[in-house]
Chain A
Amino acid sequence: MAEQQLSKTLERIKGQFSDQIVDLHTSLGMDTVIVPKTIIFELVRFLRDDPDLKFNLLSDLTAVDYFKRNPRFEVVYHFYSLERNTRVRIKVPVAEPNPEVESITPLYKIANWLERECYDMVGIRFANHPDLRRILLYPEFKGHPLHKDYPVTRRQPLVGPQDSMA
């Protein structure tokens, strides 16, 4: 594979975590780093605090279910730096069973709700999260709707007619 020119952000991350990074690339103008879940907390802290990076805004946190692929899930973080006007995407592959990554709530306050949503919808658990409850759905809900094996037609009403398709 031809060695491509790395952006400044990726150079900096590579310099710090060279031996632990799975992959680094730029796709459609977005710097992307794939890392194992063991270093995610350290990496995010580095992204936020390093004076050359300063990714102070957590733009998005979500997860994707790559059904029938191993590892099945991928937690995706998007960071933005207000000072440098740059974005970076961090991806963490998470395997079944018991998909779990470290919570980054101590670093970004919004991570609290975003991780709750991610847990609610995709079923990723976040270790050391202060309050990991469902956020959009109700506590009695079974399963996680954004799993690819959760049928779009399944209904789980608390009141009213029950699901005839289940």
Chain B
Amino acid sequence: MSDSTEVTKDMAEAQVQTPDPISKRMFLNVGPSHPAMHGVIQILVELDGEWIRKADIEIGYLHRAFEKHCESGTYTQCFPYTDRLNYVSPLINNFGFAAAVEKLMGLEVPERCNYIRVIMSEISRITDHLTCIGASAMELGAMSVFLYMMKAREYLYELVENVTGARLTISYGRIGGVKGDLPDEFEGQCRNALRKTREVLAEVDALLTKNRIFYDRMKGTGIMSKEDAISFGITGPFLRSTGVSYDVRKASPYFVYDRMNFEVPVGEVGDNMDRYLVRMEEMEQSIRIVEQALDTIPKGPTNVDPEGKVIPPDIMADLGKFGKTAGLLKNEVLIEPTLAGTQQKYHQLIRADSKQAWLPPKEKVYGSIEALMNHFKIVMMGHGIRPPKGEVYFCVEGGNGELGFYIVSDGSDRPWRVRCNAPCFRPMAALAGLLEGSQMADIIPTFGSVNMIAGELDR
């Protein structure tokens, strides 16, 4: 680990004493805004020719006070902030936060909802790894790989868009469930997208894995030992590339991961090539998980009331106000597309059976006083979702490793403290040590394989 204050001091001295550009040591700033840095981060290196003698990492350029903002809003209002943590796989953050609060409240979510969470998490993991590999391959000169991978990511983003209504800032998780059920045509679209993604992966594998240029730059660079990785608390693909088979999905299964059949790929030496191979294999395993989940997911609503007709919301609300509630609960309300999948018939499939955490279906809100009061209790300021006093730590396997939320509740409708344990913080702490002693050009593959996501790193 470099003594970074010393680097800064040395830098100032060197500038004063040796203005000669051909002096032995040279200081170079990479970033914070550099074409090869996908994300704002500054790497300060001390060079001896092409060799890096010292490195210092400066982070925090994208700090947005995530933890402070969470304290000032209600629990549900935290979801949009969690979207923006790891913005390449926002669904995992959503579900991680929701599951932490559910654990605190003791809520059980229904089976179909758990399956939806698994499917959407794995799709996000694939998009995360596609972005990581695509971007680092591009920085090593493989532009076409980047374009192919973005094409595959596009297939998956279309799925995400169909389900959540947005591509990136999805806010799809809810405490006690998910926003809405999967659309009817989802299964076919999903299998189709996965098939096309597989083709792209095969294509990329053929282009990259045995490519001389790519192999030479990845093999043997950025080597991290098993002991160092553990001491740095690294998890996820980075840790697995060193040979430690730790995956939260296997170690402490959440949702329905214990029913899924999948392998945890591990590397051997912990270099950039191993990290690339681990990520490639993980995408294949994620596809397997999604396919199994699609096969076994409990089916959606089948027994729709034959007499139920669709009524526009204003008409239904008026009928309710005038007391014409007979039979109203059996009708379906016409809701806007962004709320698709939240109709009464989907409700018990996607939400926990708890009045403390979930908005009742619109049909009941318009048609009965109890549901209206329930709705009021949850949305009005000072009421809201109130987990009991206590603290909880819950972690899920994010795109980069163990994504943990530590939440302290004081019994009110706002969290007292939300701490996000970001997985890419740890390899970034180790990055300076990885770079020291390597060549200038190795910054690019090593930094690429860390998969730094500034939104998650700086919070």
Q: Residues of A at under 8 Å CB distance from B?
A: 27-28, 30, 56-60, 62, 64-65, 76, 78, 82, 85, 87, 89, 108-110, 112-114, 117, 121, 130-131, 133-138, 145-146, 150, 152
Contact = CB atoms under 8 A, between A and B. Distances in A.
Instruction: Give 4 nearest A-B pairs by CB, closest first.
Output: A136-B60, A110-B233, A113-B429, A109-B231
Contact of B390 (A28, A78, A133): A28
A136 B59 contact: yes
A62 B419 contact: yes
Contacts of A136: 59-60, 63, 458-459
A64 B417 contact: yes
Contacts of A65: 417
Interface of B: 1, 3-5, 59-60, 63, 65, 67-69, 71-72, 103-104, 228, 230-235, 244, 246, 251-252, 390-393, 395, 402, 404, 406, 408, 416-417, 419, 421, 425-426, 428-430, 458-459
Contact of A28 (B63, B67, B103, B404): B103
A30 B393 contact: yes
B230 A131 contact: no
Given A56-B230, A64-B416, A109-B231, A152 B402 contact: no
Given A59-B404, A78-B404, A135-B59, A112 B429 contact: yes
Nearest to B410: A66
Given A62-B406, A131-B4, A135-B59, A110 B421 contact: no
A57 B239 CA distance: 11
A121 B67 contact: yes
A75 B430 CA distance: 23
Given A60-B406, A152-B69, A152-B72, A131 B426 contact: no
B408 to A, nearest CB: 6
Contacts of A78: 393, 404, 406, 421
Given A121-B67, A131-B3, A133-B5, A85 B252 contact: yes
Contacts of B430: 109-110
B161 to A, nearest CB: 32
A110 B67 contact: no
Contact of A131 (B5, B71, B232): B5
In this complex, which of A57, A76, A150 has the most chain B Cβ atoms within 10 angstroms of its Cβ?
A: A57
B233 A58 contact: yes
A137 B60 contact: yes
Contacts of A133: 4-5
B421 A59 contact: yes
A77 to B, nearest CB: 11
Contacts of B103: 28
A56 to B, nearest CB: 5
A106 B6 CA distance: 19
Nearest to B231: A109
A30 B174 CA distance: 24
Contacts of B68: 145-146, 150, 152
In this complex, which of A60, A133, A135, A146 has the most chain B Cβ atoms within 10 angstroms of its Cβ?
A: A60
